[in-house]
Amino acid sequence: GDSWGIFTFLCAALCNLPALPALNCTEELGAGQSIQKTYDLTRYLEHQLRTLAGTYLNYLGPPFNEPDFNPPRLARVERVPSATVDLDLWRGLTDNARLAANYRAYSRLLCYLRALDGQAGTAELRHRLGHFCSSLQGLVLSIAGVMSSLGYPLPAGPPAPPGTPVASNDFLKKMDDFWLLKELQTWLWRSAKDFNRLKKKVPPAVVTLRLEARGF
């Protein structure tokens, strides 16, 4: 009948259509997934550091393990990257600049922590530090993944190895360790906020339609 005739006509017309570009539906999950993973890892490291810092400060003994101990930062530890940047100034940076600063800071902090690991006096503390260093290395790689997925280049060159002079006495050495942990806590706190804001900008999954031209 008429319906069959119309169906036959449409089939013939479709078969004789010129070749069209193929419509390829792909799911761009890289950036959103990388940001979520990095945020989760940052929060995990925050939790992990609270336990590690308490254990390490108890190892250092008083006054470093006293809750109200808050000494001034010494000039000799200034090579440890400081997170004490004005928050409004920090938020005014581009996403690329903040990510690059995080990448550089954690790369350097990791170098200092690995040196700390080699000096720890107990097997349990060395194990805790080693586990934390592995997690922090994962954070460095995760930040690199976020930057790559957003099209940002990594900061050029590897981080410079720590060059802080050897402490002249045991108290100054403990002070260096205290400030290293304190700065790391502040970096992780701020990074968690950075990645929380960033993941709100970039959806976890964006479905895009891409035309792959054939012969065009």
pLDDT digits (tens, 9 = 90+) for 120-166: 778 888 888 999 999 999 999 999 999 999 999 998 755 555 555 55
Distance between CA atoms of residues 117 and 139, nearest Å: 18
Identify whether 121 is part of a domain.
yes
Kindly report the average pLDDT of the chain as a whole number: 77
Distance between CA atoms of residues 98 and 190, nearest Å: 10
Q: What is the pLDDT of residue 136?
A: 96
Q: Whose CA is closest to 51, among 140, 138, 142, 124?
A: 124
Our CA angle for 152, 154, 159, nearest 5°, is: 160
Number of structural domains found in the chain = 1
Identify whether 15 is part of a domain.
no
Of the pLDDT bands very low, low, confident and very high (cuts 50, 70, 90), residue 63 is very high
pLDDT digits (tens, 9 = 90+) for 73-99: 766 555 677 776 777 888 889 999 999
Query: Cβ(136)–Cβ(191) under 8 Å?
Result: no
Question: Could you tell me where the beta strands, DSSP code E, fall in 73-202?
Answer: none
Cα diameter, the chain: 101
Identify whether 82 is part of a domain.
yes
Instruction: Give me the residues paired with residue 212 across strands.
Output: 22
Of the pLDDT bands very low, low, confident and very high (cuts 50, 70, 90), residue 49 is very high
pLDDT digits (tens, 9 = 90+) for 9-28: 444 544 443 333 333 333 34
Identify whether 40 is part of a domain.
yes
Identify whether 59 is part of a domain.
yes
Identify whether 100 is part of a domain.
yes
**CATH number of the CATH domain containing 96:** 1.20.1250.10
- Supply the range of the domain harboring residue 193: 28-199
Identify whether 132 is part of a domain.
yes
* Higher pLDDT pick, 119 / 63: 63
Identify whether 14 is part of a domain.
no
Q: What is the pLDDT of residue 19?
A: 38
* Predicted TM-score (pTM) of this structure: 0.75
| pLDDT-wise least confident of 61-70, 151-160, 180-189 | 151-160
